[in-house]
A = this chain, B = another copy of it.
């Protein structure tokens, strides 16, 4: 994407687009985009548009803090956080570090977490960085590019909606995940969190840039396709160099709350050219593995996302319903995830799937995917 076309400001229209794009990149998770959208809209109405900072604009010495929600998306739908809850970890972080935060950023571009920092940026009148630390959504705190590059996660600040809060120093991102997840469960299944406070220089080095703009472009593409009566799924996959892995109808969905996650599995019966086949989709907040006849079509850290066959609109793990007709789409992940430490951190074996990671392009070339 041309940097000249990148976002400079978020208004209500941009929020609308980003919410959709983030649900595509959210691969089913990342927190409910609808809740994130409503909260971001309200903040912008109240405080005015949010300025977007591109990576190259950041002062190397600046303090950038990711703001997000941690927990099971299932819970966030029912327990919508207040603006105060979202900015509480930022207050704790500033107090701990003894300085003001210069800008906020999404920790993940996927789902509601792409828009959660909008509320903090609007309320404080500070910029939101057009970047994130996943280029998608992932279920665990250490699954961020900052972790891959050895940036400490601490201090970690958390708050719930009742007034409970915690400021933690953990020896690494894996310990953060354990401790923050345990607190999240006690806090009722979701909490607001700030972790990986970084310098401008660190963000430039380690974050994935332009991902809010990417989410915006995805949303705009789906809207435009609808307006121009084009096939939205095809338009989108062309734009993203993505793959249509399978066309099918949801015939079985099992999700459960487990250790602060929504875990489960969905089965799709093939439609059209996939008739007679069935696809299994495994998730832990996010879709992580798609198989047909026990052979993988797409494997984490590559992105697996569900698109409504008619509208091209993304379907989350939470909103997937029996009978839904979807295209299971695959998108290549950022190259940072295709390193040995990337695969170790967020590859199939970490999640307990008995496959080696194979890039989606390779799997597709073998004929797995339906272009």
**Chain A interface (Cβ within 8 Å of chain B)?**
162-171, 175, 178-179, 182-183, 185-187
Contacts and interface: CB of A to CB of B under 8 A. Distances in A.
A333 B68 CA distance: 47
A139 to B, nearest CB: 17
Nearest to A88: B169
Contacts of A169: 163-166
B167 A167 contact: yes
Nearest to A182: B182
Contacts of A162: 171, 175
Given A166-B167, A166-B168, A179-B187, 19 more contacts: A162-B171, A162-B175, A163-B169, A163-B171, A164-B170, A164-B171, A164-B175, A164-B179, A165-B168, A165-B169, A166-B166, A166-B169, A167-B167, A167-B168, A178-B186, A179-B183, A182-B182, A182-B183, A182-B186
Nearest to A159: B169
A185 B186 contact: no
A187 B166 CA distance: 15
Contacts of A185: 182
A187 B186 CA distance: 15
14 contacts: A163-B171, A164-B168, A164-B169, A164-B170, A164-B175, A166-B167, A166-B168, A166-B179, A167-B167, A178-B186, A179-B186, A182-B183, A182-B185, A183-B183
Contacts of A170: 164
Contacts of A163: 169, 171
| Among all A-B residue pairs, the 6 with the closest Cβ atoms | A182-B182, A166-B168, A178-B186, A167-B167, A182-B186, A163-B171
A94 to B, nearest CB: 14
Contacts of A182: 182-183, 185-186
Nearest to A176: B164
